[in-house]
A and B are shown apart, each in its own frame.
Chain A
Amino acid sequence: MSALVFVEQDEGLVRKLSLEAVSYASHLDGDTHVVVFGSLGDGQMDLIGKAGAKKVHHVTEEKFAQVDLMAYSSAIAELMTKTGASVLVMAKSSLGDPISARVSVKIGAALVSNISELPENTDGFQVKRSIYTGKALAITEIKGEKSVLTIRKNAVEIKEDGQPAAIEEFSPTVNEGDFKVNITSREKTTGEVLLPEAEIVVSGGRGLKGPENWGMIEELARSLGAATGCSKPVSDMDWRPHREHVGQTGIKVSPSLYVAIGISGAIQHLAGVNSSKYILVINKDADAPFFKAADYGVVGDAFQIVPKLTEAVNAQKG
């Protein structure tokens, strides 16, 4: 039984979530194959090998340079047959969700999304996934021989001791009927840590009183190498863009550390963050419900504490 991993890249850089997926697959029995579309920057193939891939199938044709969900899905399904892989693994992401779904239909595989940890037995027929937005977990049995799995962030550590992977060109069959969507433009922030991938997330809530006070949140985030997030009211009032809204109806995060500043901790917000490894809550209200879900807490005025905390973090870094 071998596995194929769909690795995403952005501007030539392999996404970290995808490396987690490679390492996840390398824990299963059999060889780990990878498929990646488009040209990669220097050293990126090495990262894929180190994460545990044995062989990389590289699609470099111009036709596949721009993401097309239907075309990518056809190519991946073709490669599943070619490699004889029985498991397809990828990161849970805006690309992973639709591609995993389409390929599972094409190859007649069971689809399990949002997997939160490695299977206890390596035959992979039983996996644990997060449901009810992290309020519960479901032990899920896979029927049939083939499966498609999407992996949540921090389900597994990225390996760094793998051997270099063999690289082979792969030219998928082109189905013209697949190319139905025209991407006309794209707005993208650059140089920011992306929320779903961040190891540390610093979020602000209504307690910050207004968008003009976000400077200190951004500074703390910078000193921690963190992404910034916010609560639903903050995004609803347009203090921050919607893509920063963390919670049950926003982005679900599972970083190593989640820092909540001036957020009371409504159940819908907790649902989006409760799979974080550690939670630090800073709130002036000692009775804020968030403290019950926290590992560390500080009671006090965010306007005093946040700049001091940034200083303390910077001092510690030397």
Chain B
Amino acid sequence: MNILVCITHVPDTTSKISFTENDTKFDKNGVQFIIGPYDDYAIARAVELKEELGGTITVINVGEAETEPTIRKALAIGADEAVRVNAEPTDSFFVARQIAHVAEEKDFDLILMGRESIDFNGGQVHAMVGELLGIPSISPAMTLEFEGTKGKLSQEIEGGKEYLELELPFIAGCQEPIAEWKIPNMRGIMSARTKPLAVVEPVSDEKRTVVSKYELPPEKGEVKMVDAENLDELVNLLKNEAKVL
């Protein structure tokens, strides 16, 4: 099975977010970048499927040169080769188009990615790529198994779970517990250095959205402390001050 895994290069979940240049640019200063936590599930499941069924794993990232250490990490975990589309990923349609283009050229059986990136949280690139390729996309996928070319998945829905069956090719947006994250070992890290990483230019520069300015959420005021012996006062505040009861 030939698998394409799409990864994002995002600030670590503990990062404080701030902006520069009059709030028009993300401030990368002091920020640690990682493979998107959901994308880590996609890589891990791809490595397991390769062990089970054979085939190759290609990882793709849409990003500028600074994302290469993140891509090398995916290679160290077990991907065979990588493609970096040399562009800043600021618009979901733009990103989806790049992925769909690479996917069309190489004819993959399965495309895996995280359920969403943790920077823009759109959770929509998988469905856009699916639409561009005319194939189904399932997200968030919690389990993924195969019987021949038939995929069996479970996906989380509001208040429950659905079990689905569909034929390859398809796309899945992954989340836990689809696989356990894999940590690269020394051999993986060594071999990742020489695995092929192709850099390609974007196929189009059409962007349908532009961020004109970033804002931080308004600061919370001072917390109002209530004595543990005086919970009637707390209920009173929730009812009459916050008006939420």
Chain A contacts to B: CB under 8 angstroms? 10, 69-70, 73, 93-95, 97-102, 104-106, 109-114, 126, 128, 130-144, 177, 180-189, 192, 194-197, 199-200, 224, 242-243, 248-249, 252, 256-257, 267-268, 271, 274-275, 277-281, 291-301, 304-305, 308-309, 312-313, 315-316
B234 touches A104 (CB 8 A): no
Please give, as numbers and ranges, the residues of chain A lying within 8 Å of B157 by CB-CB distance. Answer: 94-95, 186, 188
Bound complex: CA A186 to CA B160 (Å): 7
Interface centre among A144, A177, A281, A316 (most CB of B within 10 A): A316
Which residues of A have CB within 8 Å of B166? 180-182
Q: Is B223 touching A297 in the complex (CB atoms < 8 A)? A: yes
Q: Is B186 an interface residue (CB 8 A)?
A: no
Q: Are A243 and B127 in contact (CB under 8 A)?
A: no
Query: Quick one: which of B135, B235, B238 has the most chain A CB within 10 A?
Result: B238
Residues in B whose Cβ lies below 8 Å from that of A102: 127-128, 130-131
Q: Which residues of A contact B137 (CB under 8 A)?
A: 69, 98
Residues of B participating in the A interface, judged by any CB pair closer than 8 Å? 11, 13-14, 16-17, 19, 37-38, 92-93, 96, 118-128, 130-132, 134-140, 142, 155-167, 170, 175-177, 207-217, 220-221, 223-228, 231-232, 234-239, 242, 244-245
Partner of B215 from A137, A275, A293 at Cβ < 8 Å:
A137
Determine the chain B residues whose CB is within 8 A of the CB of A279 once the complex forms: 220
Which residue in chain A gives the minimum CB-CB distance to B14? A267
Interchain nearest-CB distance for A21 vs B (Å): 15
Of all chain A residues, the one with the shortest Cβ separation from B211 is: A138
In the bound complex, do residue A316 and residue B224 qualify as a contact, i.e. CB atoms below 8 Å apart? no
Contact between chains at A139 and B215 (CB < 8 Å): yes
> Which of B17, B131, B239 is within 8 Å of A106, CB to CB?
B131
Note all chain B residues with C-beta closer than 8 A to A143: 207-210
Q: Find A184's partner among B165, B212, B216, B217 (CB 8 Å cutoff).
A: B165
The answer to whether A104 and B210 have CB atoms under 8 Å apart is no
- Asked, given contacts A186-B160, A242-B156, A267-B14, whether A309 binds B235 with beta carbons under 8 Å apart, the answer is yes
B38/A249 in contact, CB under 8 A = yes
> Whole-angstrom distance between the alpha carbons of A204 and B226 in the complex?
19
**8 pairs of residues in contact across A and B, judged by CB atoms under 8 Å:** A101-B127, A113-B123, A131-B214, A137-B217, A187-B162, A195-B159, A242-B142, A249-B175
